[in-house]
Structure 1
Amino acid sequence: MKITILGAGGMGGRFGMMLHQAGNDITLVDGWQANIDAIRQDGLQADFNGQPVTVKLPIYSPEEIDQIGDHADLIIAFTKSNQLATMFEAVKPIISENTYVLCLLNGIGHEEILKNFVNIDHLILGITMWTAGMTGPGHLSLLGDGNIELQNFTPAGKDFTLQVIDTFEKAGLNPAYSENVKYSIWRKACVNGTLNGLCSLLECNIGELGKTDVAEPMLRTIIHEFALVAAHEGVNLDEAEVYQHIAATFTAEIAAHYPSMYQDLVKNHRLTEIDFINGAVWQKGQNYNIATPYCALITQEIHAKEQILGAK
């Protein structure tokens, strides 16, 4: 399969490497010039479960998209959510009427952007539990195992989605076809909507948040706001189960982990994806006449912190 991956960071690099090793035609597109230069010069390098691995993959900046030439069978989006529209505007030349798009980004509402660039019947949504990190430009740290859950956005896309699952299975990505991926997306959004924003504002890791007396009422209130909005979109979240799922992280191996939004904003002063997490719930709540005061406040405070820190 001819696959173009947008965003050659940790996750995009992992998928590109594993799909390439399985014999697929992989092209990377990335906006970080140092990353592009490193991959062009030395290949994409990884510590892959303790083993050094290097693969040579073509990589382009969005400004170089015309050099790719062929249309993609599948485009996998691994950009930051706030860069999604800009990236897809740039890659229009490789999108044909036969191109499918797989979105594996955290958060909700990405289909509203993607339907402007691809036929909605050619949209696949999913979540992934794989992890990946970058230790420098062109260098990945790939540890552990993971899986993917996928579903076509409309019934017309099921046949191609099953082809994608077969391709991913051969690459060892452990895919599964879902009959209700929207539930999984909203459930994962609750994880991000609690841990990411709160840890970023409080400048703490997951375990430190969990030790506070107010962690439980804050989480339950945020989850409830997500559930109220999700119900208007045909997704009925089990609030008690979602809370237990998130609370379990307070004492798990990842308790010492600082969520990705913390790393983006507090550590690296980068703009966040808050508008696709709590901000999306706030906006959808306004559309449905549902009050979401916690999500509204978290969104506004994260944006204020972005401005204070000069995030870019």
Structure 2
Amino acid sequence: MKIAIAGFGALGARLGVMLQTAGHEVTGIDGWPAHIAAIKTNGLTVVHDQETPKVYQLPVLTPQEVTGAFDLIILLTKTPQLDRMLTDIAPIITDKTQLLVLSNGLGNIEVMTKHVAKQQILAGVTLWTSTLVKPGEIHTTGSGSIKLQAIGGADAQPVVAALNEAGLNAELTPDVLTAIWHKAGINAVLNPLSVLLDANIAEFGTAGNAMDMALNILEEMQQVGASQGIKVDVSGIIADLSRLLKPENAGNHYPSMYQDIQNGKRTEIDFLNGYFARIGQQEGIATPFNALVTRLIHAKEDIERVKLAKQQENFEI
């Protein structure tokens, strides 16, 4: 299968390597010049669970450079940048191209319907993780899974088969929106709290009030979900969080929001905790914890960007 991965950061690179190793023709699409240059020059370095680093060669292009047609485009662009990415790669999307969105956050499907027919949309969630250490190098740990659904009722079995050939543990689900909200609940806990506590997932779990904070977020989310016709299984999310805290699963991983903050990037907080707070306000549902977490993350974004700018100034002097 000819596959493009739009958003070839930490997770996109991990999936890309796995799919290429399984024999698929993979092209990465990304907008970070340093990352693209490093892969073009030295290949993509992957370190898995402290094993010896491996180097993989695969094409990575900007959205403006990529050409041709693809059977499948996997979207891992951050939700705030999804609309722009789809606009930029429109020339490579044919009416036969299927698009699988695995980006975190809520609202991705609505964005996609502005660009392609529902029949082409596959929406999914994934528990695979990866860390971008520096341009051209990722560190991976543990394993994961993918759940997906064809929004317009198209045949998604060939995509599931391709993903499973790569060991990605993919399966179809009849209710992906519930799964997406479930994953959003996991991310709404682990992503911002890892940033605010400066901790990886396992370290977050050592906090005596870790699950109390998780419940503060999730119980508000549950009320917001109910107002949108979504049943949020708080106990199920807590069970998954407990599993992810273990080092052999994802405990040693720093979530993507932590990585974005470290790199001076805007996060997707407005499509996680901020989304719950915004819908809550519209529906008359109090969400003080999610609103506070959102404001704190935005403050952290500003602080870290100023720090990085000063470091760059000192470097150039």
TM-score (norm 1): 0.86
Query: Is the contact made by 1:109 and 1:280 (CA closer than 8 Å) also made in structure 2?
Result: no
Q: Which residue of 2 aligns with 1:302?
A: 297
Q: Distance in 1 between matches of 2:287 and 2:302?
A: 23
Q: Which residue of 2 aligns with 1:174?
A: 169
Q: Distance in 1 between matches of 2:57 and 2:7?
A: 16
Q: Distance in 1 between matches of 2:147 and 2:221?
A: 21
Q: How many residues align?
A: 305
Aligned-partner SS, 1:111 = helix
Aligned-partner SS, 2:17 = helix
Aligned-partner SS, 1:222 = helix
Q: Distance in 1 between matches of 2:88 and 2:201?
A: 37
Question: Runs of 5+ in structure 1 lacking a partner?
Answer: none
Query: How far did residue 287 of structure 1 move?
Result: 3.7
Aligned-partner SS, 1:310 = helix
Match of residue 271, structure 1, among 266, 270, 274: 266
Instruction: Give, as a single letter, the amino acid of the residue that structure 2 aligns with 1:25.
Output: E
Query: Is the contact made by 2:132 and 2:259 (CA closer than 8 Å) also made in structure 1?
Result: no
Query: How far did residue 165 of structure 1 move?
Result: 0.5
Q: Which residue of 1 aligns with 2:25?
A: 25
Q: Distance in 1 between matches of 2:4 and 2:109?
A: 18
Map Cα deviations across residues 146-194 of structure 1 (whole Å, 9 max, x no partner).
322111123x22x1x1110011122222211112222222122112112
RMSD: 2.6
CA shift in 2, pair 1:118/1:202, >3 Å: same
Q: Which residue of 2 aligns with 1:150?
A: 148
TM-score (norm 2): 0.85
Q: Which residue of 1 aligns with 2:119?
A: 121
1:53-132 matched pairs, under 5 angstroms: 53-65=54-66, 68=67, 70-132=68-130
CA shift in 2, pair 1:204/1:139, >3 Å: closer
Q: Distance in 2 between matches of 1:165 and 1:214?
A: 39
Q: Which residue of 2 aligns with 1:241?
A: 236
Query: Is the contact made by 2:130 and 2:253 (CA closer than 8 Å) also made in structure 1?
Result: no
Question: Runs of 5+ in structure 2 lacking a partner?
Answer: 309-317
Q: Which residue of 1 aligns with 2:313?
A: none
Instruction: Give, as a single letter, the amino acid of the residue that structure 1 aligns with 2:31.
Output: G
Instruction: Give, as a single letter, the amino acid of the residue that structure 2 aligns with 1:198.
Output: L
Q: Distance in 2 between matches of 1:237 and 1:119?
A: 28
Instruction: Give, as a single letter, the amino acid of the residue that structure 1 aligns with 2:26.
Output: I
Query: How far did residue 10 of structure 1 move?
Result: 2.1
CA shift in 2, pair 1:205/1:28, >3 Å: closer
Q: Distance in 1 between matches of 2:77 and 2:229?
A: 27
Aligned-partner SS, 1:279 = helix
Q: Which residue of 1 aligns with 2:312?
A: none
Instruction: Give, as a single letter, the amino acid of the residue that structure 2 aligns with 1:191.
Output: I
Instruction: Give, as a single letter, the amino acid of the residue that structure 2 aligns with 1:261.
Output: M
CA shift in 2, pair 1:287/1:127, >3 Å: same
Which shows bigger deviation, 171-180 or 137-146?
137-146
Query: How far did residue 93 of structure 1 move?
Result: 1.1
Q: Distance in 1 between matches of 2:134 and 2:298?
A: 27
Instruction: Give, as a single letter, the amino acid of the residue that structure 1 aligns with 2:135.
Output: P
Query: Is the contact made by 2:83 and 2:112 (CA closer than 8 Å) also made in structure 1?
Result: yes
CA shift in 2, pair 1:210/1:173, >3 Å: closer
1:216-295 matched pairs, under 5 angstroms: 216-247=211-242, 257-265=253-261, 267-295=262-290
Query: Is the contact made by 1:74 and 1:101 (CA closer than 8 Å) also made in structure 2?
Result: yes
CA shift in 2, pair 1:209/1:22, >3 Å: closer
CA shift in 2, pair 1:31/1:145, >3 Å: same
